[in-house]
Amino acid sequence: MANRNPVSRSPCRTGLSPKYWILMVISEEEKEVRLLHDSTASMRTMKMKPVEILLLVLCLNIVAFGVNGGPPTCPANLESDCGDSDEWKGEFFPGIPKIKYEGPSSKNPLAFKWYNAEEVILGKKMKDWFRFSVAFWHTFRGTGADPFGAPTKNWPWEDGTNSVAMAKRRMRANFEFIDKLGVDWWCFHDRDIAPDGQTLEETNANLDEVVEFAKELQGSKIRPLWGTAQLFLHPRYMHGGATSSELGVYAYAAAQVKKAMEVTHYLGGENYVFWGGREGYQSLLNTDMGRELDHMARFLEAAVAYKKKIGFKGTLLIEPKPQEPTKHQYDWDAATTANFLRKYGLIGEFKLNIECNHATLAGHSCHHELETARLNDLLGNIDANTGDPQIGWDTDQFLTDIAEATMVMQSVVKNGGLAPGGFNFDAKLRRESTDVEDLFIAHISGMDTLARGLCNAAKIIEDGSLAELVRKRYASFDTELGALIETGKADFELLEKKALQWGEPKVPSAKQELAEMIFQSAL
């Protein structure tokens, strides 16, 4: 084993490490400053008067306007109110090309360095290992607001309204983004994509109108990886939805899930997610936990029945998270959720959507949660993101840690992939990242990181040293007595007889540092 080089049979292309790569993207403001600077500099040499300089700058702006596809229909101003039209003249992302694979030595921020959709790794195309999806709520509804500060993102297509027309225009932006990024999937909550009305009927009608439009824009290639119902923002859900102490809220939540499942099905969605943001408690003193858990199980049973009734073949997924916004969320982690499903006889009907940042909030690694789900035959989807080791909440950052991505991909490969699930980027830009192109850079970086993780996982698997180390560690069970133990045929009398016969057992090294060395050498 010591002579084998784990990286010598890499299935992925090699090239310059992008380690010293320097970000060369400049913001729109900087571009204008540079334009002004460049033009004034050349004017100095041409000895122009200030008024002529101003005129020229004006002209240059008009030219740039034309190149960008004309003026927006509404100004990028959150106070403005012109949301009566879904039209948008020209592209939403002018100047951003279709993102292509250029290889690890590329310095182009708007190109993939590692994600090469058609490249076959371990017998499957990269795009099929990942099935990457864009999360509508972060990418198109994320404003950058936090509890201490106002929104920071002034996307040029937003007009400050929450109208149906604005929802449709935003949907156009979504599909242009998806097309340019080159992915086939998107994820949504019902309330991200269409506004609430005065009544449930009106709300459903708004949703139908936007969904009809989304179906048209999706074409034949793009589909939802999953849809879900947003049961946490509205004040009616302050005690939860399925676990609310109020029957009327339980019924309202059921009506909302019913509708969200119908539209996911209508759009050709492959999965449906339950994330119980407020399905938990703030204090046990005023909570009947047993009754709430029973209610949640009945709610999920009804969802299974309705899924079958409407012929929705997608997988139902539960997304564990330990807390936030509640102090305790019932779907704490993969093991807790698996136990809940087993107790209520729902184990064959659901899989899990593991989110890496939720895993770390629960005190686990993402790798641990993926393995727990996988070993229970419950690994259905991944909400790809990461937290910050110094921040104790759900920061929803794009994953850029290659070691972490490699561990994630080891689990995914062992699972044989995730289909009909995939990787949803449940991740958002930092509040301070405010350029439209940052949306692309963030997704490209996340996709490249996971692609590197896949390449590394393939190297580790093809090399075989790590698997061999693990196999050797348990080799004592590859014996006659080991087989009796593993098939449940070794009783305590037999084991005592062996222990007396053998005396003190020899306990070998776990070789953890060697395992870490092999792992590191593949990164």
CB 424 → Co ion: shortest distance, Å? 7
Q: For residue 139, which of 183, 205, 75 has the smallest C-alpha distance?
A: 183
Rule CB under 6 A: say whether 331 interacts with ligand XUL: no
Cα torsion 315, 452, 126, 92: sign: positive
d(CA 196, CA 199): 8
Active site includes 364?
no
Rule CB under 6 A: say whether 321 interacts with ligand XUL: yes
CA separation (Å) from 38 to 44, 55, 435? 10, 15, 22
d(CA 499, CA 505): 8
Q: Which stretch binds Co ion (CB under 5 A): 72-80, 244-252, 333-341, 376-384?
A: 376-384
Rule CB under 6 A: say whether 228 interacts with ligand XUL: yes
Rule CB under 6 A: say whether 177 interacts with ligand XUL: no
d(CA 23, CA 115): 19
Place of tokens 């059921």: 254
Rule CB under 6 A: say whether 426 interacts with ligand XUL: yes
Among 333, 371, 394, 426, binds Co ion (CB under 5 A): 426
Residue whose CB is less far from ligand XUL, 29 or 388: 388
Distance of CA 84 to the CA centre of its chain: 32
Rule CB under 5 A: say whether 396 interacts with Co ion: no
Binding-site residue total for ligand XUL (CB under 6 A)?
10
Nearest-Å Rg of the Cα atoms of the chain is 27
Q: Token pair for residue 413?
A: 């490969």
Catalytic residue selected from 37, 138, 189, 367: 189
CA separation (Å) from 100 to 111, 161, 427? 5, 34, 22
Among 88, 185, 250, 275, binds ligand XUL (CB under 6 A): 275
Rule CB under 6 A: say whether 378 interacts with ligand XUL: no
Q: Token pair for residue 474?
A: 């348990």
Partner residues linked to 227 by β-bridges: 188, 272
Q: Which stretch binds Co ion (CB under 5 A): 8-16, 181-189, 349-357, 462-470?
A: 349-357
Partner whose binding site includes residue 368, from Co ion, ligand XUL, none (CB under 5 to 8 Å by kind): none
Rule CB under 5 A: say whether 383 interacts with Co ion: yes
Q: Is 388 exposed, middle or buried (0-12, 13-18, 19+ CB in 10 A)?
A: exposed
Contact 428, 138 (CB under 8 A): yes
In the chain, what is the straight-line distance between the N-terminal and C-terminal CA atoms, in Å? 18
Rule CB under 6 A: say whether 355 interacts with ligand XUL: yes
Q: What is the signed CA dihedral for 218, 221, 225, 226, rounded to 10 degrees?
A: 40
Backbone angles phi, psi at 167, to 5 degrees: -60, -40
Q: Which residue is nearest to ligand XUL (CB)?
A: 275
Among 158, 192, 319, 404, binds ligand XUL (CB under 6 A): 319
CB 273 → ligand XUL: shortest distance, Å? 6
Q: For residue 355, which of 454, 413, 264, 427 has the smallest C-alpha distance?
A: 427
Place of tokens 């198109």: 140
Rule CB under 6 A: say whether 272 interacts with ligand XUL: no
Among 86, 383, 404, 463, binds ligand XUL (CB under 6 A): 383
Partner whose binding site includes residue 172, from ligand XUL, Co ion, none (CB under 5 to 8 Å by kind): none
Partner whose binding site includes residue 228, from Co ion, ligand XUL, none (CB under 5 to 8 Å by kind): ligand XUL
Backbone angles phi, psi at 264, to 5 degrees: -60, -45
Binding-site residue total for Co ion (CB under 5 A)?
3
CB 359 → ligand XUL: shortest distance, Å? 11
Residue whose CB is less far from ligand XUL, 116 or 271: 271
Rule CB under 5 A: say whether 355 interacts with Co ion: yes
CB 324 → ligand XUL: shortest distance, Å? 7
Contact 380, 421 (CB under 8 A): yes
Residue whose CB is less far from ligand XUL, 110 or 427: 427
Residue whose CB is less far from ligand XUL, 13 or 236: 236
Rule CB under 5 A: say whether 192 interacts with Co ion: no
The SS3 assignment for 382 reads: strand
Residue 72 backbone zone (phi > 0: left; psi -120 to 50: alpha; other: beta):
beta
Rule CB under 6 A: say whether 260 interacts with ligand XUL: no
Partner whose binding site includes residue 192, from ligand XUL, Co ion, none (CB under 5 to 8 Å by kind): none
CB 188 → Co ion: shortest distance, Å? 12
Contact 103, 15 (CB under 8 A): yes
Residue whose CB is less far from ligand XUL, 117 or 300: 300
Among 222, 242, 253, 273, binds ligand XUL (CB under 6 A): 273
d(CA 390, CA 397): 13
Interface residues with ligand XUL (CB under 6 A) are 189, 228, 273, 275, 319, 321, 355, 383, 394, 426
Interface residues with Co ion (CB under 5 A) are 355, 383, 426
Which residue numbers are catalytic? 189
